[in-house]
Amino acid sequence: PVLIKFIDAKKDLSIQVHPDNTYALKNEGQYGKTEMWYVMDAAEGASLLYGFSREVSEEEFEERIRNNTLPEVLNRVMIHKGDVLFIDPGTIHAIGAGSLIAEIQQNSNVTYRVYDYGRKGPDGKERELHVDKALQVTKREPAATDRDFGPHVASCEYFTVDKVILDGLRRKKLTGEADGTSFVSVLVMSGAGKITASGETMEVKKGDSIFITAGSGEYELEGDMEALLTTV
């Protein structure tokens, strides 16, 4: 039901947008995409593109795609380790150079590319843009920046993400339960420790991804580390 990825961007990645379920099911035969980004690390001056800096018309949006000036009207967000962005369907976005991102998303491969810095594919031609479809699904306005997910890092109908911080001293253990409603994905953001579940104990460190199956009962995290826990 979800995809969990590491994206290590050495160069600016393409500017893109995802449709919602209704549009994607009708036009692509699969679901749309809701996703979130957690910044694991960022070089000095690294940034992301997130929505528009102001409201634009469909005509201006299309013209800027055609004449390669689209980035001029997009909202550039300077990023730092620990930042979170939630990306609703229809929100135009892009990952900038120098960003290491943990991406948690609805399981979908529907992406409409609208700007690609003139990059060329293996055939020597510029990669395809999906202008017509992007025009139909993009919200041509600034993206919401005041989302409140309560105690969670992010939460929607497709996934819930929580952050665990263990310091190895006063807070060195966390106990949870993988009940029958959802698996638990553990993504280690920094540090090291161990995870015990189903009678097994595993050593873990930064970058490890551990999958605790649904219905396996109580689990325990121990050590000096930060981790993201994802459930559905």
CATH number where 189 lies? 2.60.120.10
Note whether 38 and 114 are same-domain residues: yes
The size of the chain, in residues, is: 232
Active site amino acids: 113
Q: Looking at residue 184, what is its pLDDT? A: 97
Note whether 41 and 116 are same-domain residues: yes
Note whether 126 and 27 are same-domain residues: yes
150 domain residue, yes or no? no
Note whether 32 and 76 are same-domain residues: yes
Q: Looking at residue 186, what is its pLDDT? A: 97
Q: What's the total number of domains in the chain?
A: 2
45 domain residue, yes or no? yes
Domain final residue pick, 76, 106, 137: 137
40 domain residue, yes or no? yes
Note whether 124 and 226 are same-domain residues: no
152 domain residue, yes or no? no
pTM of the model: 0.93
pLDDT in tens, the chain (232 residues): 999 999 999 999 999 999 999 999 999 999 999 999 999 999 999 999 999 999 999 999 999 999 999 999 999 999 999 999 999 999 999 999 999 999 999 999 999 999 998 888 889 888 889 999 999 999 999 998 778 898 999 999 999 999 999 998 889 999 999 999 999 999 999 999 999 999 999 999 999 999 999 999 999 999 999 999 999 9
Note whether 28 and 88 are same-domain residues: yes
Q: Looking at residue 166, what is its pLDDT? A: 96
Please count the other Cβ atoms lying within 10 Å of the Cβ belonging to residue 193.
23
Which of 220, 185, 153, 198 lies closest to 2 in space, CA to CA?
185
Domain that holds residue 94: 2-137
Q: Are 19 and 114 in contact (CB under 8 A)?
A: no
Note whether 98 and 185 are same-domain residues: no
